[in-house]
Amino acid sequence: MLNERNWIVTEKHFDLKRQNHAETIFTIGNGYLGTRGAHEERYPGEERTTFIHGVFDDVPIVFTELVNAPDWLDLTLLLGGELFSLSEGEILTYQRQLDLRNGLLTRSVEWRSPRGVRWQLTFERFASLANPHLLCQRVRATAFENVTLEVRSTLSGETDNLNYKHWDWLGQGFQRNSAWLHLRTRSSGIELGVAARLSVNGGGNLQQTGWDTRNAPTLVTTTEMKSGEAVEIEKITAFYTSRETNDPQGAVRRALETLPKRAWEGLWESHARAWQREWEACDVLIEGDDHAHLAVRFSLFQLLAAAPRQDERVSIGAKALSGYGYRGHVFWDTEIFMLPFFTYTRPEVARNLLSYRYHTLEGARKKARENGYKGAQFAWESASTGEEVTPTWVPHPTDRTKLIRIWTGDIQIHISADVCYAIWQYWQATGDDDFMIHRGAEIFLEVARFWASRAEWNAENGSYEFTDVIGPDEYHDHVDNNAYTNALARWQLLTALKVLAWLEGRNPDKAAELRRLLELDENELNRWREIGEKIYWKQDAASGLIEQFEGYFQRRQIDLRSLEPRMQSIQSLLGIEGANDANILKQPDVVMLAYVLPELFDENSLRANYEYYNARTDHTFGSSLGPAIHAIIACRIGKPDEAYEHFMRAALADLEDVRGNAHDGIHAASAGGIWQAVVFGFGGLRFDPEGPKPFPGLPRHWKRLVFRIKYRGQFYEYDLRNSPAGGDEG
Ligand code: BGC
């Protein structure tokens, strides 16, 4: 694979009105940190952020958030005394490109200064994947007059999160041509060391000084340029935190000291090789649809850029590391939407992400205890400790005098089963018994215990029930017996028993240890089985239709078509209460269940439920998590054209901002869903005892689809083609 086409995301115009969307799109990262695509020079309204995995700090309302680290991009250029800014002077040519093969972001500009001096400037940057503590920048500048070039590079500890400050100053200084800064987060006490080295090559009479401004040490270099001569500026920044070392300050200084005088080339080579290895494991090729192909690769790039490779105590938030949206919090988005991509292509990363849930088990136990339950209840929104960090009250989006109560952190309980589902899927795909023995089993047992304590016996129905919950479809809260939640709870309880039985055979000592540690006895295990087998479940025998929750069919019937065209979500149109009373879904719920537990659906009920709920789902402005899942189920019932429409809605969520909110950060769950739609939807990949097997159904205009997976230690590549007659062959 690794063909030459469809690797480059291009921006052809400088447009301040859509700068925040562009910042999201041009986010780069290396699994340690992520940096939005702000420019080197500053513009009003920009959101220049760098988020480092795991660096959270307390904040009102949302409890904790990823902290915006000091900006490493900053380069102020004074060209012949004039400040370089694209808001001034004249832009003669402009192009910005992100190369998805290696995360190199390049901007080429020809600019005429207000005084009329013509400049040619090329800016490049990458976040090293080979050494994720190093960030590299290079600028090539040519002036068409004899002028002085002054370059200023500031390391600022004044960075904030939308005006909220998290950093305390500890120290700063200079060392040869570098500046360093030592900071600490205010509440969580995480220390950060950052140092930047600035070198300018070319010109004459080169001079460098340092401005020792408190909390903003600045390196300043000047050089005399001759007309037509190119000068190269190289800036290398290093970051370490006390999460990786006891001495972040020493670590950044050492990291820069050991670099050669000109470091870009060497760092680039190892970085590009590291990216190549990533793509070799997971690239997807689509022939006949460049638009979709680029969008798929963009999604995979963003997942890879956020994938923690060295750290098993962090996970990927709903916006990855690309924006303020959801403040870096981790949802079911990771386990159900993003994880399969890693499980089947980069299982080491999947293991790290699942280990994060193991390391936050204490937080989940605490949450269960505080809610009056037993075992472990995972947080709907999780950060460093696993304690619940969903805001309980948030300001109303239009009427700032009002607050809205958010219930997801209290009652969206399916997340605990979702975590187990992802562990099971990972274990099936990798055969990583070690993970199951030492981490997975304990999670399974603790979550089963939670479900058993949360279930309520209804003597009238003769069933165990889960009342007052929120299912995946968040337009409906405080509902009883949500089909997705009930089915996953049943699956989880019964699978926990299987896991324990397996562990007893495979590693009796560990099984005995867990029984002892958790004080598990036969009565409790029997109770899990009893509850699991008697959980409320209702399905219409004739049609196969499943009611999303008790009373859903009685909600106010709205024909979605009568509201089209619209530019807002059903919840904004009808209000929170209005949407709750109506039958429209924010995102798939029964259809989600059909994807996650397909064994519960025969062909007829799959079709019946898809058709019914598809017509009642807010695809355009509901949740971005939905379209990829609808695409997969549409493929399964043989509707590739409809599947393609859903698929493209997901695929363009970021690149073309189809939902109008990409400025908040990328839709990471949708990115993972896109991979699943390609592989499990159009590729139709299924696993049976003999291994993986594709049942392709490509969109009519796709000529070819190639993808790779790793399954139980072995690589599989599928090269699927659309035959001229319109059918497919494997
Ligand atoms: C969706 C949830 C999702 C969350 C974070 C919400 O709008 O309804 O399913 O987990 O966003 O992406």
- Residue 474 annotated in active site: yes
In a domain, 195, yes or no: yes
Q: Examine the domain organization and report whether 272 and 376 are in the same domain.
A: no
User: Which residue of 625, 659, 664, 670 sits with most ligand 1 atoms within 8 Å of its CB, as the best mutation to test the pocket?
Assistant: 625
Whether the pLDDT of residue 379 is over 80: the answer is yes
Q: Examine the domain organization and report whether 366 and 273 are in the same domain.
A: no
Catalytic residue among 269, 474, 530, 599: 474
- Say how many domains are in the chain: 2
pLDDT mean over 333-338: 98
pLDDT at 400: 83
What gap in Å lies between CA 177 and CA 16, rounded to an integer? 33
**What confidence category does residue 409 fall into, taking pLDDT thresholds of 50, 70 and 90?**
very high
Which of 592, 611, 632 is the C-terminal boundary of a domain?
592
Q: Examine the domain organization and report whether 509 and 366 are in the same domain.
A: yes
Which of 565, 592, 619 is the C-terminal boundary of a domain?
592
**What confidence category does residue 3 fall into, taking pLDDT thresholds of 50, 70 and 90?**
confident
Q: Which residues contact 593 (CB under 8 A, 6 or more apart)?
A: 483, 484, 487, 488, 546, 600
Q: Whose CA is nearest to atom 5 of ligand 1?
A: 318
Q: Examine the domain organization and report whether 254 and 392 are in the same domain.
A: no
In a domain, 629, yes or no: no
Around ligand 1, the residues with Cβ closer than 6 Å are 318, 326, 331-333, 472, 474, 586-587, 623, 625, 669
The alpha carbon of 680 and the centre of ligand 1 are apart by a number of angstroms equal to 22
In a domain, 201, yes or no: yes
The alpha carbon of 625 and the centre of ligand 1 are apart by a number of angstroms equal to 7
pLDDT at 668: 98
Q: Examine the domain organization and report whether 12 and 108 are in the same domain.
A: yes
Q: Examine the domain organization and report whether 263 and 371 are in the same domain.
A: no
Whether the pLDDT of residue 33 is over 70: the answer is yes
Whether the pLDDT of residue 122 is over 70: the answer is yes
> What DSSP line would sit under 624-635, residue for residue?
TTHHHHHHHHHH
Q: Examine the domain organization and report whether 252 and 114 are in the same domain.
A: yes
Instruction: Tell me if the pTM is above 0.85.
Output: yes
Ligand 1 atom closest to 331 (CA): 10
CATH number for the domain that contains residue 125: 2.70.98.40
Q: CB 524: neighbour CB atoms within 10 A?
A: 16
Q: Examine the domain organization and report whether 443 and 565 are in the same domain.
A: yes
Q: Tell me the C-alpha to C-alpha distance, in Å, between residue 96 and each of 26, 37, 63, 237, 395.
A: 9, 10, 37, 22, 37
- CA geometry: angle at 403 spanning 398 and 405, to 5°? 120
Ligand 1 atom closest to 333 (CA): 10
What gap in Å lies between CA 149 and CA 81, rounded to an integer? 8
State the residue range of the domain holding 183.
8-279
Q: Examine the domain organization and report whether 270 and 372 are in the same domain.
A: no
469-522 per-position pLDDT tens digit: 999 999 999 999 999 999 999 999 999 999 999 999 999 999 999 999 999 999
In a domain, 336, yes or no: no
671-682 per-position pLDDT tens digit: 999 999 999 999
The alpha carbon of 508 and the centre of ligand 1 are apart by a number of angstroms equal to 40
Average pLDDT, the chain: 96
In a domain, 286, yes or no: no
Q: Whose CA is nearest to atom 9 of ligand 1?
A: 472
In the three-class reduction of DSSP (H, G, I as helix; E, B as strand; rest coil), residue 189 is classed as coil
The alpha carbon of 66 and the centre of ligand 1 are apart by a number of angstroms equal to 18
The alpha carbon of 587 and the centre of ligand 1 are apart by a number of angstroms equal to 9
CATH number for the domain that contains residue 450: 1.50.10.10
Q: Examine the domain organization and report whether 272 and 395 are in the same domain.
A: no
In a domain, 649, yes or no: no
Q: CB 312: neighbour CB atoms within 10 A?
A: 18
Which of 244, 279, 314 is the C-terminal boundary of a domain?
279
User: Which residue of 473, 474, 617 sits with most ligand 1 atoms within 8 Å of its CB, as the best mutation to test the pocket?
Assistant: 474
Distance of CA 484 to the CA centre of its chain: 23
Max CA pair span of the chain: 90
Residue 139: which H helix or E strand, with range?
strand 134-143
In a domain, 96, yes or no: yes
Q: Examine the domain organization and report whether 445 and 565 are in the same domain.
A: yes
Contact 37/105 with Cβ under 8 angstroms? yes
Q: Examine the domain organization and report whether 232 and 93 are in the same domain.
A: yes
**Residue % of the chain over a pLDDT of 90:** 97
User: Which residue of 586, 587, 623 sits with most ligand 1 atoms within 8 Å of its CB, as the best mutation to test the pocket?
Assistant: 623
Contact 282/708 with Cβ under 8 angstroms? yes
Ligand 1 atom closest to 326 (CA): 5
166-178 per-position pLDDT tens digit: 999 999 999 989 9
- CA Rg, the chain, in Å? 27
The alpha carbon of 686 and the centre of ligand 1 are apart by a number of angstroms equal to 27
What gap in Å lies between CA 13 and CA 15, rounded to an integer? 6
In a domain, 678, yes or no: no
pLDDT at 143: 94
Q: Whose CA is nearest to atom 11 of ligand 1?
A: 623
